[in-house]
Structure 1
Amino acid sequence: MVHCLRYFFEAGVDTPLWPEDMASPYGYPCDLSRLPISEETRAELAGLSEWYQSSIDWDYPPDPSPWSDDELQAFKRRANAALETLRRELGAGWVVRDESLL
């Protein structure tokens, strides 16, 4: 069986992982503690999700992001590195689709 996850960041959500199957045993959105990954990777994914929340102007969310271009590029680099690590740790039997719009 192949497990399929979608990878993207969402306002107000503490994980960037969403199973394709809403009835997944990993939760919807995905509960990072249920995945067979290292604690370091869990912490990085949770930290990125928390950091992403600061990209939104919570006083008026439709406004442009308060992030500078440098901060956006730094976030993209870490998010891409975390995705590569996640794919490596999950290994065969897992597909993680990058659906981030960063």
Structure 2
Amino acid sequence: MEIYKLRFSFDAGSGICLWSENELARDRLGYPVELDSLEIAPSVKKLAEDLIARFDTSHDWNDPAGPSPWSEVEREHFRADAAGLLWSLQECLSAGFEIRDCTC
């Protein structure tokens, strides 16, 4: 069975948290993977959209190369919520998909 390989990673301003990692996935989903192209529960899609928007606040858009406005506590909360999202995505997609966590 062929596996769709995805990378789980946030990129500020992109609106994306999943990226194709193999040709099979790129051919079906493109390189940046839009949530609408996946068969996931609406609640998981909403969680992903909320976390993507939240991640955008981790950057100072007036000084993008500067330090993050987030505290260490905010970063830890985000990491925990991102781990929960990754688990939910893996549960929704399960068979046929492999998602590599690159959020560290």
TM-score of the pair, normalised by structure 1: 0.92
Deviations 1:20-40 (CA, angstroms, capped at 9, x unpaired)? 137432232101011011111
Counterpart of 2:47 in structure 1: which amino acid?
A: E
Query: Which structure: greater helix fraction?
Result: 2
Structure 2: distance between partners of 1:43 and 1:24: 25
For the aligned residues, what is the CA RMSD? Answer: 1.3
Which blocks of at least 5 consecutive residues in structure 1 are unaligned? none
Name the structure 1 match of 2:19. 18
Q: Secondary structure at the residue paired with 2:28?
A: coil
Name the structure 2 match of 1:81. 84
User: Percent same amino acid at aligned positions?
Assistant: 34
TM-score of the pair, normalised by structure 2: 0.90
Name the structure 1 match of 2:32. 29
Deviations 1:42-82 (CA, angstroms, capped at 9, x unpaired)? 11111111100000011111111000111111111100000
Which blocks of at least 5 consecutive residues in structure 2 are unaligned? none
The aligned length equals 101
Does residue 46 of structure 2 align to residue 55 of structure 1?
Answer: no
